[in-house]
Structure 1
């Protein structure tokens, strides 16, 4: 269906069951015929409302009666039933249509548009493709592979790529890849640490050392000598080339900017912030005490030990709250 006008319906195109049970007594064939004719007219009136809106394609979240499907087909309307709610919402974003819950509220202004709507068979499954939408706010990427494992890997890679684009769009700033910013920051922090005294200096130096774990890991994964690589990286950055990083594909220390190896600033900021917060959280913990429920003093033991003293064989039980020493007793 080309130049499709799409109706998105969240109501059934079939006769709904009544809330209360009802019985109809039919005594002759004429009454049966009248009953079926009335049912057919009700379905036809539903379809007429869709036709009157000018729709050429219908996506219905609920059921479509076979008779309704017949009337829609006669009117040249492509109908798809039992569409998931999430898919209907995405179609609304893609086509610009509005989801209708009552056929009386369906008008031409509520219809979405698409350049092409067609059914295609892929392997054993039938798919309905909606293409050529104007300014779509929702799209679908169809991934195929020889096995589910490969599909999962491709999906992960595509998701990562999309998230990178999203981050750059939200914050259009980039930094060099290949461990270049970590090395540059570590150099600056080491220089600043010399102005500190006491434990603050040690903490700053350790923070710089932790930043350099990134280029060290990259060099090891690339099969390069980590010590020589880090020394070369530091040397080139000290000489003014702050874009110098590790190209793991070539196994060289080169300028990242000229090689188009970059990362979004938002991602780099999030990684370093999360790592620093995790380290601070651990450092706030003074000690960890592993305790087990005490079995109590052995039968016949005399009294307990003073607080703060451990068990001494048969000399007494453990005071409340002290850890069980297990086989040391």
Structure 2
């Protein structure tokens, strides 16, 4: 149907067509063929962004579950069940699912060794990259060590990641303190102890004559020498003003025994300020007002063929640097992406310490709990709640399909095991069978799983409620 809104032509889709259009867009995204002019597809993209911001992982899970909930809703609408009834049934189901998930969660925060093992298991299951599959235990340990250094903080800014091509993936390592991917200026001391650091974003060459297109005319070489001397005096005064801070690390001050770091990029400067506790100074005229950074010692180190600067014993004691090695740029980039996902989930798990079992176990546990809850619901709402249960079962089904196994057989066996009370059974993807996820150590973050169910059911509800879509057509260009 065509109409005019504020003088522009627009199209309107009502009721069944609007809802169908929403479902098609969302299901297309669930099947990973993206079509972003569709309002519903945009909702799924937004929930995956929220998932990423909240937990740092689980973006695929949240889209897949939302798409499955919509697939089920589409069938229910075809059976003439009202969208409002579907939403009410889904709400009953999601409350039952989340209650079951909370009941299944365990917390080992009081047992340091067991908690570290939980974190290690989560880190092993997080990297989806094929590149890291051979070395996932190595990287899991790296990620766990880095996050435990944060002592409960979720500020990943304290973990610096430096990528250096060369060597193999297992040459990557964790180093305490902060490493700056820069070199000391010529003639700077190579190592200083009890460093007092001035972090500045002021440049040192502002006193030179730098007016665009300026011409300075002098009538003798003596006058030129005078100009140069004046510039030099200005620079010397600036150096003296900076040295007056009582520091031993800055830039351009080697002759005063001060370590010089030139051209530190802005991110490097900001992070250096964060971990050493120094404020970024924009002027050198007021040394009494500037808060200096501190660390035990600064030294030049070599990684591969490059010189870098290492700050040890920094004010933020939890700061550390992960140096990633690998034979190619692509490999090192992939390692960084996987490590970032693992660090995000682990830092959230250190805060919300409960864990649940992976491998489709939690989804099947929730699915069974929803089916139990559906039996107590009267009317068509019960049919919607059962549909929610089927959508949850699709997660282990997709897991098995992606691994190339017979999903209908495996998921039927998995469901039977849960109904027999074996609530720790999930899919053993190495053997292509079902097994105890607790014994196999397939662990996931409770917060991640909870957020997936919350976000997916919210998104599905939002899309099911759509009953009118207005689309403005692009403005036509007027003929000149």
> Which category of TM-score, normalised to the shorter sequence, fits these structures?
0.7 to 0.9
- How far residue 11 of structure 1 moved from its aligned partner, in angstroms, is 1.5
Tell me which residue corresponds to 2:198: 7
Pairing partner for 1:44 from 232, 236, 245: 236
Deviation per CA, 1:176-196, whole angstroms, max 9, x where unpaired?
111111111111111221222
List aligned pairs for 1:269-288, cutoff 5 A: 269-286=450-467
**8 Å CA contact 2:196, 2:246 repeated in 1:** yes
Matched, 1:100 2:290: no
Structure 1's 259 and 50: CA in aligned 2 closer, same or farther, altered over 3 A? same
* Whole-Å separation in 1 of the counterparts to 2:416 and 2:192: 63
**8 Å CA contact 2:199, 2:280 repeated in 1:** yes
Tell me which residue corresponds to 2:30: none
**8 Å CA contact 2:325, 2:332 repeated in 1:** yes
Structure 1's 20 and 181: CA in aligned 2 closer, same or farther, altered over 3 A? closer
Tell me which residue corresponds to 2:346: 165
Structure 1's 165 and 290: CA in aligned 2 closer, same or farther, altered over 3 A? closer
**Bigger fraction of residues in helix:** 2
Q: How many pairs are equivalent?
A: 281
Give the structure-1-normalised TM-score: 0.73
Q: In angstroms, what is the RMSD of aligned CA positions?
A: 3.2
- How far residue 214 of structure 1 moved from its aligned partner, in angstroms, is 1.2
Structure 1's 191 and 41: CA in aligned 2 closer, same or farther, altered over 3 A? same
- How far residue 8 of structure 1 moved from its aligned partner, in angstroms, is 0.7
Matched, 1:153 2:298: no
**8 Å CA contact 2:293, 2:315 repeated in 1:** no
Tell me which residue corresponds to 1:264: 445
**8 Å CA contact 1:100, 1:106 repeated in 2:** no
Q: Gaps (5+ residues) in structure 1? A: 60-68, 293-329
Question: Could you say which structure has the larger radius of gyration?
Answer: 1
- How far residue 287 of structure 1 moved from its aligned partner, in angstroms, is 7.4
Structure 1's 218 and 20: CA in aligned 2 closer, same or farther, altered over 3 A? closer
Residue 257 of structure 1 aligns to a residue whose secondary structure is helix
Pairing partner for 1:53 from 227, 230, 245: 245
Pairing partner for 2:434 from 253, 261, 270: 253
- How far residue 76 of structure 1 moved from its aligned partner, in angstroms, is 2.1
Give the structure-2-normalised TM-score: 0.52
Residue 324 of structure 2 aligns to a residue whose secondary structure is coil
* Whole-Å separation in 2 of the counterparts to 1:217 and 1:29: 81
